[in-house]
Structure 1
Amino acid sequence: MPEKRLFFALWPNERQREQLREPIKTASGTVEGQLVFRGNWHVTLRFLGAVPEAAIPSIRRAMDAIQPEPFRLRFDRLEFWPRPKIACLLASSVPPALSRLVQTLDTLAEAAGLGRQESTYRPHITIARHARSFPSEPLAQPVMLEWSGFELMESVATAQGVRYYPAIQ
């Protein structure tokens, strides 16, 4: 049975990507690692993993019933996470509306038989993979982004590396 590697995410529009451009450029100047392609910048809400294609329509129906409250997310720190070896922009605080959305998506994923999320949610944008350790620091230019929706995303391996796309189906 064919599968797709899926996750729920806050997917920046072009205006939001422009707002992120300078802070990420500045931060990436101090980071050693493989920089993440601009088109892949996102905030993961819930990783689903390998999902049978036949299950996607029911996940979409459940997803379409979710009406998230608008919220603002302030990215204010540059951090190194040792276990995945990533450098990321981190939002130090999680708005209540975002917490409720993540909890709703966790429930949806569990109901679809896609497992339970065990880690504490920390909203971030990965800017480099295979990064070398560095001390966490506040961003010189914090970025505040507004969100009112989310996407079901697919991770696709390409000759240029992994690319993320809104899942179609």
Structure 2
Amino acid sequence: MKRLFLAIAPDAAQLEQLTQLQASLDGEGRLVPRDNLHMTLAFLGQCSEAQQEALSESLARLAHQRRLPTFEVTLNTLEHWVKPKILCLKGAARDPGLISLFNQCQRLAQQLGLHTSEHSFTPHITLMRKAKMLPELKAPSLSLSGHALHLYHSQSSEQGVLYKVLASWPLTAPKA
């Protein structure tokens, strides 16, 4: 069994912006390592080999049919979520492509008997864990474009949690 999730990875320029933002965070907490920064679309929980295969096949088919849409989302609000104790950069899901992609990921998870979100979708990137408060800081505006959907394996290690990309599928612009 592997602990898996579907997410979008920031590109190099976006990663640079995010790490600069992290550098300005002076709060108690643990910064998320640069290589772990991502925007989750579906946390799937523990997956069997068969579930992972079925998920990969479904996503490959959707990608081949050009049914995994590209999108843009602006993350521009710094927020402290008390219960999970995280500090994140969040935005609003307005792009129909993003909403469609989120819904497809949740539907696939449900069909395969995997974890589905009980919360409404808030696009965000977690910057810090074990955060105690919201720093007084103006949040930058980060425009995140989705060009590929990644299946990540969340692995615990002595260095902390590592996120490893197991598979990726291209997102395509809808035909005009």
Tell me which interval the TM-score lies in, with the shorter structure as reference length.
0.7 to 0.9
Residue ranges of structure 2 left out of the alignment (5+ in a row): 168-176
Cα distance in 1 between the residues matched to 2:61 and 2:105: 11
Closer, same or farther: CA 23–134 of 1 in aligned 2, 3 Å:
closer
1:71-130 C-alpha deviation (Å, 9 max, x unpaired): 111110110001100001111344221111010111111111114422101111111111
- Is the CA contact 2:14–2:142 (under 8 Å) kept in the aligned structure 1? no
Cα distance in 1 between the residues matched to 2:111 and 2:122: 23
Q: Which residue in the other structure is 1:148 paired with? A: 147
Residue ranges of structure 1 left out of the alignment (5+ in a row): none
Alignment root-mean-square deviation, CA: 1.9
- Is the CA contact 2:45–2:115 (under 8 Å) kept in the aligned structure 1? no
TM-aligned CA deviation for residue 15 of structure 1: 3.4
Cα distance in 2 between the residues matched to 1:116 and 1:21: 29
TM-aligned CA deviation for residue 68 of structure 1: 2.2
Pick the aligned partner of 1:65 from 31, 43, 61: 61
Cα distance in 2 between the residues matched to 1:33 and 1:115: 27
Closer, same or farther: CA 97–61 of 1 in aligned 2, 3 Å:
same
Cα distance in 2 between the residues matched to 1:134 and 1:56: 37
**Runs (4+) off by over 3 Å:** 135-138
Q: Tell whether 2:107 aligns with 1:111.
A: no
* TM-score normalised to structure 2 length: 0.84
* TM-score normalised to structure 1 length: 0.87
Q: Which residue in the other structure is 2:83 paired with? A: 83
- Is the CA contact 1:94–1:123 (under 8 Å) kept in the aligned structure 2? no
- % same residue: 34
- Is the CA contact 2:6–2:41 (under 8 Å) kept in the aligned structure 1? yes
**Equivalent residues in 2 for 1:1-150 (5 A)?**
3-26=1-24, 28-29=25-26, 31-66=27-62, 67-134=67-134, 138-139=138-139, 141-150=140-149
TM-aligned CA deviation for residue 11 of structure 1: 1.6
